[in-house]
């Protein structure tokens, strides 16, 4: 039985018959785990039985997500990326997984993932082939949407290799419509804008936000701090254009969290977690949850940081200050009063000169202007910094290639305290 809200959305869809995204999903950025960045297209189960793209890998990750606390803090989608398919469709033209690596079939694996209280995501490609060369959905869109529904898929990542760039404007909405028509709510993740943008075509974001729950804007994340920086620089350089498209049900996607892999230090991991949360980005990990270090697990499971990411206003944050290789990013969050927001504030030190950098700027300069001020709490250390007025300085030391991340909760005006409660949207 579908939750009532989803039934209502599906009913509205049926009545309007419109091609638009009304699946009621992803009201906050999706959270989960995806295989690509960490496990790529390793199909050699003889040589790498623990790492190859296989039924075994996904069952073990499902076990870790449910038993090691990830599901409890909100990571719910387990998403199988490229290289799960057989090289050919079956005799009826239906998609089929590689038989040796997925001997029990997709429905059995999906049932297992669901039995762990998780949701099941699957990768495909709007094109002739997936990026790794497996069958794409062109020519089979309706059948493939139905196949996904019959396998209990809850989330579809639709890539854009081997596709005509202008066809995407028709094809992505058409496949979204087929997904909706199955009657099974499936989060729809698109790569439509990134392929167009990188080939000099201006993406039609008005159409994209009506079609997709999330979409990739930029290239694939790689396992390095430099790559994390290049991603945040891209989002900062385009922030005026990109930020307005984010909101409940539709999100910009800067790609996976690589925390716990080879490339990021502990401080850099905090930085990725903080910046992705301020950017209202999906929190989709790609790492080995079976062997991840305790310090990385703690960063990924930091509830206060996750609460910023999942803030119900769904407003994407921006870079508001840059000097001496130090940046400040802010995101408006709840509670709200009299047109004043609370904020998440991230001070990012990109410097590498070996000692914590002292940052000191007035709140006003960072755009925090609530006359009654804010209560400041650092979210990784749990240290409160008291109440600061707009004229006060935020004065902190930040490790090299690291962050301090604050929740700055606005203070109510003294005379209004009894009459105007701070507004927390329902469900907060
Ligand atoms: C593209 C996508 C990646 C991943 C690979 C799989 O590069 O951007 O996220 O899905 O394809 O081949």
As a whole number of angstroms, the distance between CA 31 and CA 281 comes to 9
User: Cα separation of 307 and 428, whole Å?
Assistant: 9
- Residue 362, beta-bridge partner list: 393
* DSSP secondary structure code for residue 97 in this structure: B
What contacts 24+ positions apart, CB below 8 Å, involve 222-231? 222/37, 222/263, 223/37, 223/258, 223/261, 223/262, 223/263, 223/264, 224/263, 224/264, 225/263, 225/264, 225/265, 225/268, 225/401, 227/263, 228/258, 228/264, 228/268, 228/271, 228/272, 228/275, 229/350, 231/255
Q: Could you tell me what percent of the chain has a pLDDT over 70? A: 91
What secondary structure does DSSP assign to 115-159, as a single string?
Answer: HTT-EEEEEEESSSB-TTSSB-STT-HHHHHHHHHHTT--EEEEE
8 Å CB contact between 357 and 397: yes
Within its chain, how far is the Cα of 304 from the centroid?
17
What are the pLDDT digits (tens) for 4-63?
344 334 333 333 333 446 689 999 999 999 999 999 999 999 999 999 999 999 999 999
Output the pLDDT for position 105: 98
| Nearest CA residue ID for atom 3, ligand 1 | 220
Which pLDDT belongs to residue 138? 97
* CA separation for the pair 419, 272 (Å, rounded): 40
* pLDDT tens sequence across 46-105: 999 999 999 999 999 999 999 999 999 999 999 999 999 999 999 999 999 999 999 999
Q: At 285, list the tokens.
A: 């990990």
How many angstroms is it from 131 CA to the middle of ligand 1? 6
| Residue of minimum CA distance from atom 1 in ligand 1 | 131
Give CA separation, 190 vs 27, 340, 423, in Å: 16, 34, 33
What 3-state class would DSSP assign to 237?
A: helix
Q: Which residues contact 262 (CB under 8 A, 6 or more apart)?
A: 223
Alpha carbon of 399 to ligand 1 centroid (Å): 33
The stretch 108-123 carries a mean pLDDT of: 99
Cα(223) to ligand 1 centroid in Å equals 14
Residue 209 CA to residue 230 CA, distance in Å, equals 24
Q: Report the alpha-carbon distance of residue 55 to residue 76 in Å, rounded.
A: 18
Q: Is 378 in the pocket of ligand 1 (CB under 6 A)?
A: no
Is pLDDT at 334 greater than 50 in this prediction?
Answer: yes
Q: Is 36 in the pocket of ligand 1 (CB under 6 A)?
A: yes
Indicate the SS3 state at residue 196.
helix
For 205-260, the pLDDT digits (tens) are 999 999 999 999 999 999 999 999 999 999 999 999 999 999 999 999 999 999 99
Asked if the model's pLDDT at residue 428 lies above 90, the reply is no
Query: Does the structure show a pLDDT above 80 at 410?
Result: yes
Q: How far apart are the CA of 130 and the centre of ligand 1, in A?
A: 8
Residue 176 has pLDDT above 50, yes or no: yes
CA torsion angle for 177, 201, 331, 259 (degrees, to 10)? 80
Instruction: Please check whether residue 363 is in contact with residue 394, taking contact to mean a CB–CB distance below 8 angstroms.
Output: yes
Model pLDDT for residues 380-397, shown as the tens digit of each residue: 999 999 999 999 999 999
- Is ligand 1 within 6 A of the CB of residue 132? yes
Pocket test for ligand 1, best of 36, 40, 125, 156 (most atoms within 8 A of CB): 36
Q: Is the pLDDT of residue 150 over 50?
A: yes
192 Cα: distance to centroid of ligand 1 (angstroms): 12
Domains identified in the chain and CATH numbers: 4-309 (3.20.20.70), 318-410 (2.60.40.1180)
Atom of ligand 1 nearest to the CA of 131: 12
| pLDDT confidence of residue 414 | 66
Nearest CA to ligand 1 atom 4: 36
Whether the predicted pLDDT of 415 surpasses 70: no
Q: pLDDT value at position 4? A: 39
The pLDDT value recorded for residue 72 is 98
- Ligand 1 pocket member 220 (CB < 6 A): yes
Atom of ligand 1 nearest to the CA of 255: 9
Q: So which residues are the catalytic ones? A: 159, 220
Task: Give mean pLDDT, residues 324-339.
Answer: 97
């Amino acid at each position: 039985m579908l939750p009532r809200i989803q039934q209502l959305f599906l009913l509205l869809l049926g009545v309007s018959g419109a091609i638009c995204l009304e699946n009621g999903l992803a009201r906050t950025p999706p959270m989960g785990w995806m295989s690509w960045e960490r496990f790529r297209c390793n199909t050699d189960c003889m040589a790498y039985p623990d790492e190859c793209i296989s039924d075994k890998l996904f069952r073990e990750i499902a076990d870790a997500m449910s038993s090691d606390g990830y599901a409890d803090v909100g990571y719910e989608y387990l998403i199988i990326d490229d290289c799960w398919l057989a090289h050919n469709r079956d005799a009826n033209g239906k998609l089929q997984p590689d038989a040796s690596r997925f001997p029990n079939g997709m429905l059995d694996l999906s049932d297992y993932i669901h039995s762990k209280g998780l949701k099941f995501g699957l990768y495909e490609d709007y094109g002739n082939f997936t990026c790794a060369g497996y069958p794409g959905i062109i020519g089979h869109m309706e059948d493939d949407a139905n196949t996904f529904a019959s396998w209990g898929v809850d989330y579809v990542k639709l890539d854009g290799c081997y596709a005509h760039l202008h066809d995407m404007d028709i094809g992505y909405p058409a496949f979204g419509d087929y997904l909706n028509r199955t009657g099974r709510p499936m989060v729809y993740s698109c790569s439509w804008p990134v392929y167009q943008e990188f080939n000099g075509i201006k993406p039609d974001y008005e159409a994209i936000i009506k079609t997709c729950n999330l979409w990739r804007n930029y290239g694939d994340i790689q396992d390095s701090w430099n790559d994390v920086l290049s991603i945040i620089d891209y989002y900062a350089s385009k922030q005026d254009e990109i930020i307005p498209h984010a909101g409940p049900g539709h999100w910009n996607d800067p790609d996976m969290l690589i925390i716990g892999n080879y490339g990021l230090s502990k401080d850099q991991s905090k930085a990725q977690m903080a910046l992705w949360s301020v950017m209202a980005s999906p929190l989709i990990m790609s790492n080995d949850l079976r062997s991840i270090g305790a310090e990385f697990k703690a960063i990924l499971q930091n509830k206060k940081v996750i609460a910023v990411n999942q803030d119900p206003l769904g407003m994407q944050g921006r870079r508001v200050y840059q000097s001496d290789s130090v940046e400040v990013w802010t995101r408006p969050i709840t509670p709200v009063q009299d047109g004043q927001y609370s904020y998440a504030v991230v001070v990012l030190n990109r410097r590498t000169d070996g000692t914590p950098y002292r940052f000191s700027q007035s709140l006003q300069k960072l755009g925090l202007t609530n006359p009654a001020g804010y209560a400041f709490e650092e979210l990784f250390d749990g240290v409160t910094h008291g109440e600061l007025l707009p004229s006060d300085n935020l004065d902190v030391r930040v490790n090299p290639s690291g962050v301090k991340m604050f929740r700055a909760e606005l203070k109510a005006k003294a005379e209004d305290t009894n009459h105007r409660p701070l507004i927390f949207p329902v469900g907060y």
